Amino acid sequence: MRASASACRRAWVLVVLLVAGCDARLPDPESPGARLYATRCTGCHRLYAPGVMTAEMWKITVERMQGELARRGVPPLSADEQALLLDYLDRHSTGRNG
């Protein structure tokens, strides 16, 4: 019984950590970058807190999502939108010192 309770607690902690990373509350929510993120990215998935990834991870993810948008027949981000989004995500990413 003890092992089961311990496994249940570990599973609960994992769920809490995953949900925390998928928090729709964004830093600087009225900024153009946050608005773009909320508008364009929620068409396919929930928002992920910018702090769950490093700037480099966000760059890779946004590039991958550009391909996914094209695959779904959705217009990809323009170069200006992509720069705005990556700037926002970079400013609020993990490992950022201010």
CA distance 33 to 28: 9
Q: What is the pLDDT of residue 78?
A: 98
CA distance 82 to 58: 11
Per residue in 27-84, pLDDT (tens digit) is 999 999 999 999 999 989 999 999 999 999 999 999 999 999 999 999 999 999 999 9
Mean pLDDT of the region 16-36: 76
User: What 3-state DSSP class applies to 27?
Assistant: coil
- Here the contacts of 66-70 (C-beta below 8 Å, separation 24 or greater) are 68/44, 69/44
* 26: nearest Cα among 2, 3, 52, 7: 52
- What is the identity of the amino acid at 72? R
